Structure 1
Amino acid sequence: MMGIESAPGSISSADFFDRALRRLRFDVPPALTDASVIPESGDHGTDRMLRLIAQERPIRPAAVLIPVIEHAEPTVLLTMRAAHLNDHAGQIAFPGGKIDAADNSPLDAALREAEEEIGLDRSYVEPIGYLDVYGTGFGFRILPTVARVRPGFELTINKSEVDDAFEVPLSFLMNPGNHQLHSKEFRGALRSYYAMPFAERYIWGATAGILRLMYERICLP
């Protein structure tokens, strides 16, 4: 769904987690590994791009964790990818990465990556469920896990992968008034994508798109 709605009333921490628990499950969507199933973004230009990529590149299943920290005013924990990386250097991201053969599930991969990248101890993490698969222009099929995180954890940043970790208020990210639509051309078609600039942080691309998915699945009536 590519559009901007009027901002709803603020959602409380209890209401957000209650809705998430009622609406999300741990059923793995076929689009994660089935090349014949193309993740749908709701934007025709982006959907066309994903169909082209599915014909040209093998599927690259990946998993990310959306850590929602249960403060009185909940926040989402995000990372800034290391500046020396070959792909997406310096971009804002969720903890996560490719699903390895040794991972028991996408959830297991997301928890492992969060521990490896930022040292988030899984004993503080209560997984709630999966969102829909999000397809990227690099051939990744990303399955996000929404999780409630108990405050009190300490992070250890793996500088080979991540330069920084920081929190953004959930109320900001779930306010559609902050969901900006940007666009660029890809193979003759206009591709739309979300951006959610926050202070000096430019949240865009897959990260903003996944946050938009979370808004649509959990916050809309």
Structure 2
Amino acid sequence: MPALSSRPALSGEAFADRLRAAVAHTTPPSSDYDPERDRDLYQPPLRDAGVLAAFHEDDGRLFLTKRAATMRHHPGQIALPGGKVDPGDPDVTAAALREAHEEIGLHADQVEVIGTLPVHHTVTRFRITPLIAIIRGPFTPLPEPGEVAEVFTLPFAHVTDAANYRLERRDWQGTPRAYPVAPLGPYYLWGATARILMGLAERLRS
């Protein structure tokens, strides 16, 4: 599993304490689109999903995936482990933990969920709840070949620094869209995943 090394900004439980303080803030939901121009996209039906922003207790590195090119939604993109709520899932937390186990082999008993960020609405009509969590103990990812092309980590100092995010633009279905990016090395962090993590970084800065 490739990983990008960086001297951790914090050590021990210090970064976990910062995350706990960050999720305690109250902020409005985020989205991929302009709420005035795209008001109809907020209307039901929206599909609920949960994603897991899981930082390892050793150094705060964040586990991310590169989605398989064969996936129906967002093929080849960088994502947080997680997915849509299935009928058997009692809530979005259960969905995120189940998907993380299926996608990267992360067992729920290794995960301490600290809290959640506000929901994020996507142009693909998902209502995503991001869970902020700590991975306890040794963990070696086991990617699911049908869904995950690669599992990798990014340093805590990179994903939680708001200065590392910038806006870029592209056309989506004939409409110009602005979206955040925070690339590092070969990994192009962008879109909904970058927007969710940028929101976390902004909370940490405040």
Q: TM-score range by the shorter chain?
A: 0.7 to 0.9
Q: Deviations over 1:174-210 (max 9, x none)?
A: 1222102112355786432111111111110011001
> Is the deviation greater in 128-137 or in 148-157?
148-157
Correspondence 1:48 to 2:50: no
Q: Is the 8 A contact 1:46 1:192 kept in 2?
A: no
Q: Classify 1:50/1:139 alpha carbon distance in 2 versus 1 (closer, same or farther; 3 Å).
A: farther
Q: For structure 2, which runs of at least 5 residues remain unmatched after alignment?
A: 1-7
CA distance in 1, matches of 2:140, 2:150: 13
Q: Classify 1:49/1:129 alpha carbon distance in 2 versus 1 (closer, same or farther; 3 Å).
A: farther
Identity %: 39
CA distance in 1, matches of 2:22, 2:168: 29
CA distance in 1, matches of 2:19, 2:71: 33
Letter in 2 for 1:87: H
CA distance in 2, matches of 1:202, 1:129: 26
- State TM-score, norm by structure 1: 0.79
1:86 to 64, 68, 72: 72
SS, match of residue 18 in structure 1? helix
Q: Deviations over 1:99-140 (max 9, x none)?
A: 122212211111000001111112211110000111111111
CA distance in 1, matches of 2:85, 2:174: 32
> Is the deviation greater in 168-177 or in 58-67?
168-177
Whichever structure has more helix as a proportion of its residues is: 1
Q: What is the aligned partner in structure 1 of residue 56 from structure 2? A: 69
Correspondence 1:19 to 2:7: no
SS, match of residue 46 in structure 1? coil
Q: What is the aligned partner in structure 2 of residue 138 from structure 1? A: 124
Which structure 1 residue ranges, 4+ long, deviate > 4 Å from structure 2? 185-190
SS, match of residue 158 in structure 2? helix
SS, match of residue 143 in structure 1? strand
Q: What is the aligned partner in structure 1 of residue 5 from structure 2? A: none
Q: Classify 1:40/1:114 alpha carbon distance in 2 versus 1 (closer, same or farther; 3 Å).
A: closer
Q: Is the 8 A contact 2:179 2:195 kept in 1?
A: yes
Q: Is the 8 A contact 2:162 2:202 kept in 1?
A: no
Q: What is the aligned partner in structure 1 of residue 166 from structure 2? A: 180
Q: Matches of residues 182-221 of structure 1 in structure 2 within 5 Å?
A: 182-185=168-171, 190-217=176-203, 219-221=204-206
Q: What is the aligned partner in structure 1 of residue 136 from structure 2? A: 150
> Is the deviation greater in 109-118 or in 84-93?
84-93
Q: What is the aligned partner in structure 1 of residue 3 from structure 2? A: none
1:60 to 43, 47, 50: 47
Q: What is the aligned partner in structure 1 of residue 4 from structure 2? A: none
The count of aligned residue pairs is 197
Q: Is the 8 A contact 2:9 2:156 kept in 1?
A: no
Q: Classify 1:131/1:113 alpha carbon distance in 2 versus 1 (closer, same or farther; 3 Å).
A: same
CA distance in 2, matches of 1:59, 1:95: 20
Letter in 2 for 1:12: L
> Is the deviation greater in 149-158 or in 203-212?
149-158
CA distance in 1, matches of 2:165, 2:54: 20
Q: CA deviation at 1:87?
A: 2.0
